[in-house]
Structure 1
């Protein structure tokens, strides 16, 4: 099951890379692709075989070529690509977002495991990792206490986020022009334009696209601590700011435009421009987070129950 999930996730990631490439020769070695997807060469070979079977790529002598671009039906559904840890993370943050967990409340791994339909061990591992950032405090006997996100905590997390993202952005512009990361950026940029064109109906899809862009940039750091830290960034920014539903469509439209400016700056390889666009976008994200903390999850409820999270 685990290997199947790894394969499906690598398959989808590879499709995202190919979506932004021109048709024709694809000069990417198995070793390079394995490094980009962070999987073994065995998994890469399985992915490449699958791409050939579906006609996305084909062999032209000793070389490989992109024969057609991926379509939505080529991708595995998102739930099939999640690890157990990702399932626990998503369900925990949805639980918090619904207002079922408030600052000061005791959290028990066994109760969450029953609620989430996962093992107690998986929940305990998540809570232990999450507690390292100060959002959960271990009780002396058993369980954890949920500390919540305060304005002071938000200020601290923003300061570290800016530092790490600027460093990652600098490393990104240093990548070789043939690096698969640039093709991934092409695909993400194209999706930004599509989402902007369909913003009225799809504005809630922004969170997923936002995470893909920033995670791609953080991956360029090739620093395990920076990459791991992005997990807590995603949890805090992508869930907490959804508490504030006021002007959500317009806020996401602005963020999409800021992303496109940021992407253009990365392509320019002008570090001063990259810094300016990165800082401007992160300031907007910080303001949204602080506003959401003032709103709180309970203000997102309706008379029919808790608000349903998007993303």
Structure 2
């Protein structure tokens, strides 16, 4: 099961590489590709053979560009733990869960289609950060975010994201991250054009951009930290409905500046755009945290 998921991950990653209109052939030895895509040479050979059989490649020469339907669905490329993370974040965002509400392991196990053991393991990770409190009978309590917690989180986020953004800006021109970044930029522009009807789609796009930046760090601890950032920031953005459309539009424009700075490889510009965006995120999170405090005190 795990081996098949890895194969599909590499398959999708190679297809993403082939989408680059500037690329005419897939370069690199099997060993180099295995290192780049973090897989075995056996998996690389299998994926290359499949792409050749499907008419994407002739040898290493690119014959055609992939369409969305050519990619494996994301649910087929993720481990059980990754699926729980994604589904838990979606549940947090769409269930309107408030601080003090219970989180039931058995219920989530049925809802997510994974074992209770996997659910408990994920909740233990969130417990480590103080977001959850364990109770008897497989019940947990969602504790919410205090202003002090938010301040600490923003400080660490600034350190990690600045480091990751600088690292991304120094990647080789042929690195897969640049293909994904161009695609993310195009999707930002499309969303901006249809902001009136689709402004709530911003959360998913925001998550993709920041995950790409953190993954560029190639630091397991930085990438692990992103999980908690993603849940907290998107949860609070969703809870705070005040001026949501205007906030998302402004964030899209900041993202475009950020992306263009990364493409420029100008580290000073990268730092300026990164800090500007992180400061906006800090203000929004603090406002949301303050709103929660007021709501908690309301009769």
Is 1:71 aligned to 2:60, yes or no? no
- 1:114 aligns to 2:110 (yes or no): yes
Once the two structures are superposed, the pairs formed by residues 51-66 of structure 1 within 5 Å of their partners are 51-59=51-59, 64-66=60-62
In 2, the alpha carbon distance for the partners of 1:188 and 1:178 equals 17
| Deviations, residues 225-264 of structure 1 (Å, cap 9, x unaligned) | 0011111111112233122334433322222221221122
- Displacement of 1:138 in angstroms is 4.1
SS in 2 for 1:149: coil
Unaligned segments of structure 2, at least 5 residues: none
CA distance in 2, matches of 1:97, 1:208: 11
Match of 2:27 in 1: 27
CA distance in 2, matches of 1:209, 1:32: 30
Higher deviation after alignment, 227-236 or 18-27: 18-27
Aligned counterpart, 1:303:
none
User: In the alignment, is the contact (CA less than 8 A) between 1:30 and 1:45 conserved in 2?
Assistant: yes
| Distance (Å, rounded) in 2 between the aligned partners of 1:32 and 1:238 | 36
Whole-angstrom CA distance in 2 between matches of 1:197 and 1:55: 34
CA distance 1:70–1:278, shift in 2 (3 Å): same
Deviations 1:157-214 (A, max 9, x none): 1111110010111222222233332233233223333333343444333222222222
**Pair 1:6 & 2:6 matched:** yes
Aligned counterparts of 2:57 and 2:191: Cα–Cα separation in 1 = 27
**Distance in 1 of aligned mates of 2:92 and 2:198:** 24
> C-alpha separation between the residues in 1 aligned to 2:28 and 2:184?
19
The one of the two structures with greater contact order (alpha-carbon pairs below 8 A, sep at least 6) is 1
Provide Cα deviations, 1:69-90, integer angstroms capped at 9, x if missing partner: 2212212233333321233223
- Match for residue 262 of structure 1? 258
Aligned to 1:132: 128
Match of 2:248 among 245, 252, 259: 252
- Name the structure 1 match of 2:93: 97
Aligned length: 293
Mark the runs of 5 or more structure 1 residues left unpaired by the alignment: 300-311
| TM-score for the superposition, normalised by structure 2 | 0.85
The CA RMSD measured in Å over matched residues stands at: 2.7
